[in-house]
Structure 1
Amino acid sequence: MSKLRVGLLFGGRSGEHEVSIISARGIANALSAEENSHKYEIMPFYIQKDGFWQAGEVAQQVLTSGVAKEHPGNRANLWQFPPQTAEIDLWFPILHGPNGEDGTIQALLTLMQVPFVGSGVLGSATGMDKIAMKTAFAQAGLPQVKYKALTRAQIWSNPCVFPKLCDEIEATLGYPYFVKPANLGSSVGIAKVQSRQELEAALDNAATYDRRIIVEAGVVAREVECAVLGNDNPKASVIGEITFDSDFYDYETKYTQGKADLFIPAHLPESAVQQIQEKALQAFTAVDAAGLARVDFFYVEATGEILINEINTLPGFTSTSMYPQLWANTGISFPKLVDQLIQLAMERHSN
């Protein structure tokens, strides 16, 4: 049998460009492992920050070195894909953030009519937009923290209205809370606020990143995560816990070795573990995810309450990433995990 040609798609036009390269290196190593090397041929495709697609030697150089590169191209050829795209049997996109896990690249791959790993357009878009996500969670009956959805227009358009808006937030949520752009991943543009001055600055800053903004009530809780794998009959992993010394789990803490500690499995009551796993599967279904997702929760130890935070439909595959580590501790090695993700993509495409 000939090898399945896997288009490893990485880089992208987002602030998580470098993280995507690291994730792609991890996946490439897993596909090259002894148990997979006879089944898959890796064909790297690197999307530069300016949008140009690179294949062949250039893409392989970035994948090998782990260093982002920019090769000048003719703007007239910006959306002309490398000829190697026609050779791909299955795409493995590992593009984090906007233009990668928000449904845009998934729409393009759907138009290509070639199977790809991960959620489709709906699941990706819903999982990326925190407001749409929380709406889907509410509809599914999943408990979550109080929040308020805003738009850039509400924040910027009328200086006279802005103080009233802040008054309403304070009255509804109370301090502290988190201000977040609705459509950015990896804690980009997020701020924890404890005063009116910080609130005003955080709202103004978040509006520079996105036209939709969400304000969430803070909660004193342990942060735990569950990985999901599957399509129509998904399975949940063991539970992991994140601890850190920074004010919150920001971008630097998330991707800097030694900044956060992961405990797998988390030391939780068995009843809490089962509830988290059940709710993770509910969340996966609520947004119509497929293939893979990591679902994040707050566990309020004082009351035993479990609140869903968010779902990530294209989690990281770096050395510090929780998703592959959760499955490794559940009994599925990294090479086996990527193999299963490819098989799930083929299964979903055939259906």
Structure 2
Amino acid sequence: MLGLSADALIIMLDEIYLRLFLEVIPSDLKLNCIDVQRLISDYNQGKHSHRLYGELIKQVYQNNPNSTIGFDYGQYLMPSTLCDFSRTLMTCATLQEVFDTVERYHYLLGTSYYPCFRYRNGRVSISFLFPFKRRPSMHQRRFCVEAILSYILNAIKETTGESPAPLAVYLDYSAPTYEALYHKELNVIPTFDSPLNLIEFDADILKLPLRSHKPVLHQMYLNKCIDAWRASERLQEFEYRVISYMMLHHPSAYLSQNLANKLNISVRGLQKRLNKQGGSFSHLANLSRAELAKMYLFQEQQSIDFIAEQLGFQTLSGFRRFFKTEFNQTPLEFISQMSQHSESKAS
């Protein structure tokens, strides 16, 4: 996460996520002098506790690089037992409303990943992007993705009573030693070493009604979340907010004036705050563009012209140069690699 330690993985607004993680952490793991009680009591009071949370997760993988901690943690992620935002989601009317609510408000949670929902050819897909840090480690991505996928499947089953199997799951890291556990947990054989982390369902699941739908409680939980977000906004890194707004409002947010308007500050104020933290507008723009480029190419399968426009490039050659710098290959080479990847999976 920007402004946090290099290995900070996840920030949530409710310490229940931390408490749950501490319950499933291996009993033989030495915590290396991390004051667990202080970590719990101070959580939400500042960035220091969030850093310690990241360090705690890092220690799990240092102790055992093949740890299944992501799935161990994820099996308990049920909407009814978690934070107010989860309760907001479970009181929606349909899964379509759930996805729309996540798409609109998720960035306010301050997590290290960014979900993108897309609807294409009778399918709904959700990708998990990591725009807040350049090239996060495989363990970072694996922990987050395992937990997120578990939460999605648990949430669908808990709120609808249905257990629709994903049509496909793509993961951007190599298969771990416990690869068979993915098949068991996800009810589908995932494709590893993909360009993107993505889960795909038949779009009919969007019509599924939620058994836990309660309009009054839904609005109450949503209002409570918004109040909490406003109160804790100062704890969120400014650079995190900038990237989130770029992801949410591109391509217009790639113009500094438009972004400053969204943040309710002047362009000069935007530049001063970024300079103070040692960042730059162009650097943060490129972090978000790199993740969105993969999403548009792999998840949406859009044309290069369309993607260049969506990412705020004035010329196609400018986008090509950017892509080559970021991925060490041209967009066409990336597309060709994607095609070979899909053919290999089909065979």
TM-score by structure 2 length? 0.23
TM-score by structure 1 length? 0.23
Looking at secondary structure, tell me which structure has more helix per residue: 2
Looking at secondary structure, tell me which structure has more strand per residue: 1
